[in-house]
Amino acid sequence: MRKIRIGLFGFGKTGKLVANEFLKDDRFELGWVVKRTRKFAERYASRRLGYETKTGPIHAVGKLGPRFFAKHPVDVLIDFSSAAGYRSYRDAPDAGVRIVSAISKYEPEDLAALKELSAKTAVLYSPNITLGINFLLVASQVLQKIAPHADVEIVEEHFRDKQEVSGTALKIAQVLGLEKTRHVNSIRVGGIVGRHEVVFGLPNQTIRLVHESISRAAFGQGAIFAALWLADKPPGLYSMEQIVADMVARNVPIF
């Protein structure tokens, strides 16, 4: 079976762990990595992560050139860079590249640009690509339908240096029809990777749905799931939430 060739945008803390997950998986080949700065450009992601092999050459985003994707073909592009990252791969669909975007926060115009790309290729977008958080999204919506009059609050906890409100928490609020400014509560302490809790308050009981990321490697495992699912899909805009909901409805194992 031919390996799925992966291109990765973003090589920060999370990007490195995501790259490592793909390097460990025999179903994939890490074709290249694109990062913001020129530091370590033209070296290899595998070497940067402690492997002996020369896999995943590193390219600086400012040096890609107009025919980058034709010269360096991959099957699926994984984006863990920034909200502006898509501007550097607008021509990827013309080279037959499918796209997985795991950016936590997009402005409306960014989402519109992703939708334009999805007219030419398969695009999967999820602000939190872990399987667990997307199961929590589905379970929260099911519970809200069962108990529509329950009070609902969202608590998100992250490391102390994270300044903005969690994009995942805002997504949960959106799908539950809540005002994000009133019902999303943020906690910043220590080195918490990410914890999201949806609290349903009823007159005589409380129901709590919790997801906690123990390591950022969970994002890499989610990206692997997404890449495998997307590899043979036609053009269109997909989401992890939709995939998980469909698998739950069909009683297909998720984990």
State the pLDDT at residue 55.
Answer: 96
State the pLDDT at residue 4.
Answer: 98
Backbone angles phi, psi at 2, to 5 degrees: -70, 135
Q: Using an 8 Å Cβ cutoff, are 144 and 150 in contact?
A: yes
Cα separation, 129 vs 102, in Å, equals: 6
Backbone angles phi, psi at 239, to 5 degrees: -140, 150
173: Cβ contacts below 8 Å, ≥ 6 apart:
154, 179, 180, 183, 184
State in words which class domain 4-125+217-249 has: alpha beta
**Parallel/antiparallel/unpaired status of strands 194-202 and 151-158:** antiparallel
Q: Which residues of the chain have pLDDT under 50?
A: none
Structural domain boundaries of the chain?
4-125+217-249, 131-213
Catalytic annotation, residues:
158, 162
Starting at the edge strand that comes first in sequence, how are the strands of the sheet with 184-188 ordered? 184-188, 151-158, 194-202, 205-213
192: Cβ contacts below 8 Å, ≥ 6 apart:
157, 158, 159
State the pLDDT at residue 145.
Answer: 96
State the pLDDT at residue 58.
Answer: 95
State the pLDDT at residue 255.
Answer: 67
Predicted model pTM? 0.90
The CATH number of 131-213 is 3.30.360.10
State the pLDDT at residue 190.
Answer: 95
